[in-house]
Amino acid sequence: MTIGVSEVDVSPLFIDGDPSTGEGFEAALGYAIGETLGFPPADVAWVVLDDGDDPFGTGLRVDFVVGQVPAAEPTDTTVTSDPYLAPATGAPPYALLFAAGNPLVACVNGALAELEATGELSSLAEAWLSGTPWEGSLVGSATRVS
């Protein structure tokens, strides 16, 4: 599984600009989704995207993009997952970005639901977001992390 990420310098969502370490909420979430889908960490690859990169076009091909992606209505070329994290700023909640028509969307939405149901999503939020300046909440949860 290949995960694209555009903003890796946003602590505590990513730590030290390297998502492959699994350090930070969104890096850890990427690995947790992979494991839920049957991909051990060794089978998860990360691509740090530059401005203007088309993660779903020729060349760079990723399964989805994580990293402060606002949940949005589908377009002709992209669709987002179910939202998982809402910043306290009132901005749209964060979701994962996929190429339109990607059948993996349903699988990843199922993985997000499983991570929420088992409490793993809350555990990730507690581990990476609590006690930091970042404020927000898990979507679908009354849990506030700050």
Strand partners, 86: 137
Residues 94-145: tens digit of each pLDDT: 999 999 999 999 999 999 999 999 999 999 999 999 888 888 888 864 344 4
Residues 45-77: tens digit of each pLDDT: 999 998 888 888 777 689 999 988 888 888 899
> What is d(CA 80, CA 64) in angstroms, rounded to the nearest whole number?
9
pLDDT given at position 145: 43
For the question of whether the overall pTM of this predicted structure is more than 0.75, the answer is yes
- What number does CATH give the domain 2-145? 3.40.190.10
pLDDT given at position 142: 39
The one-letter amino acid code at 19 reads P
User: Average pLDDT for residues 35-49, to the nearest whole number?
Assistant: 95
Strand partners, 70: 94
117 Cβ partners below 8 Å, 6+ apart? none
